[in-house]
Structure 1
């Protein structure tokens, strides 16, 4: 119904026995008739050459689409202002179209199994994405199409950094529907990226979990377990990235995200702040911050930049902390510190 039909049609011929485009024409004409009435009523629509049954079908559909609103009178409706209603309805249709395209490969594979054919990777199951701008656009698009979950891991790729900056300037850039589960896993190289941290704060404020891990292999997004975008702009800005909608590779990419998530460290708001009660712990403020950053897997170089000290200073303090905690590795130092409630 995005192309509104304004010409009058023969209602008797096209009302309830229509399907496909003819049905859309019927609903469109009913909508125009309702708009012309200003305050549409059953009597007014019937007077316009619709019979009672056609009025019932048309108005129920228009209410479901958010174009009319019911009133206390079952035979009267209000027209939702078209300037508001039509863009919302168009967005809903676009989301359904995008979901249809994304699930086409899975549905085709289901059909092939049902008729005894081996599922194959068709052209519709895999889109190669060329260029940083195109990758960023695709990731933003799949965010908006999500109905259940969006899991996003970012390795600091050019497309990822661009999107994080855009999302801070325009929160709608990576908007998702209410109720969609969001997870964000960031490489520790992004700890000193102001845009990344601002976006993290936005997600945290909305109650979504964020983790940091050292060595995220590449950026990826998994949406609703039916589509995945692999962002390889870290390795090649001009090509190589892709979107896939076939179940086996989507499951494999989902498993990779789950592994990244399990090995990463949850981010908490005070991670980059000075401790509020430094006297409570047997460590200097600087060492507490170093320990907190160690738990994320941050490298000495990242810690040095965040704390505005030299890498040599960080290396020296890390060795001191590992000795004090009796830890053989940086990871063990973080675990021991957490067990002692030092961070």
Structure 2
């Protein structure tokens, strides 16, 4: 934390933190405590002394003492905050300049091309980190990027994620059901579609990334970057249409609305059943036995007082069991109704 926030090196942070915990120490004694070479500790102490974080003992100039953290570190923190405030002002100015230039783009400049699989991954990661309001994602196999479906820190900033997964990806186990549960827990909204027409990643309704090929053909992989234009409006409309017709997906009973008293496993089975997965595929996804899945489905039909699975699906839709509470949130003023994503599929 000290190294990340206040600009100290890891060695400086370790030395200062250790020195705070003792009354005083010589460079040799501090080196033993932190497990470093004494000559390296001498250089670290010199830098810390220059920054006002350590000083010499009055009784013995060969011993070093830590400056009070509340005073010494607060000064560094204020300095960093001032630097961040200046950087934010510069960012706002650059963003306004970019938007002004973007409004003047000609038809040939609306779409940029990014070549190479790694270059596309890097661009996706960068625009995802810069998202302010919402990320919308259509995902189909092969999975374009590895790692977690979402960045929890981005969601914690208030960015809304909406993702439509192609059902065939569940059969392939990428992403796994555990990854979907983690994404849902983090705040991502997930729906399942029989198919999606293309891979699509939209950030803040200002930029869309359309991967052209998956990593199976990395040598020719690339993506289109679509800036604000009628083409971007069309891609946003495409996502909204796919989102509206996709099956809502929940992973906990607590996420259901107006549903009877069922547990998380039954809620997951119901959600996967309505996406069109077979009983065996559901059992595989949930790591349950086929018999358990079939018994749970029978119980759900009894609970809904229906005779077959088609009636169960109709009953579920009519009563809104799978309508997630987040889907009921009103849209922001001036924005269309919407529901939220992973990294590009």
Query: Given the two structures, how large is their TM-score scaled by the length of structure 2?
Result: 0.51
Which runs of structure 2 are paired with 1:126-141 in the superposition (5 Å)? 126-141=111-126
- How far did residue 194 of structure 1 move? 5.6
CA contact 1:102–1:226 (8 Å) conserved in 2: no
User: Relative to 1, partners in 2 of residues 1:325 and 1:92: Cα closer, same or farther, differing over 3 Å?
Assistant: farther
Matched, 1:224 2:204: yes
Query: Which of the residues 169, 179, 190 maps onto 1:198?
Result: 179
- How far did residue 301 of structure 1 move? 6.8
Query: Which of the residues 238, 258, 262 maps onto 2:244?
Result: 262
- How far did residue 263 of structure 1 move? 1.3
CA-to-aligned-CA distance 1:124-179 (integer Å, 9 cap, x gap): x322122332222222222233333222222244324x1536x56xx45xx26834
- How far did residue 294 of structure 1 move? 2.1
- Matches of 2:270 and 2:181 in 1, distance apart? 21
- How far did residue 334 of structure 1 move? 1.9
Q: Which runs of 5+ in 2 are unaligned?
A: 1-51, 53-74, 254-258, 323-345
Match of residue 282 from structure 2: 303
- Matches of 1:103 and 1:193 in 2, distance apart? 41
Query: Which of the residues 122, 138, 141 maps onto 2:108?
Result: 122
Match of residue 250 from structure 1: 232
CA contact 2:138–2:165 (8 Å) conserved in 1: yes
Matched, 1:142 2:127: yes
Query: Given the two structures, how large is their TM-score scaled by the length of structure 1?
Result: 0.51
Match of residue 108 from structure 1: 104
User: Relative to 1, partners in 2 of residues 1:176 and 1:122: Cα closer, same or farther, differing over 3 Å?
Assistant: farther
Match of residue 20 from structure 1: none
Query: Which of the residues 170, 190, 194 maps onto 1:210?
Result: 190
Q: Which runs of 5+ in 1 are unaligned?
A: 1-37, 39-77, 110-119, 272-276
- Matches of 2:156 and 2:96 in 1, distance apart? 14
Quick one: higher RCO (CA 8 Å, sep 6+), 1 or 2?
2
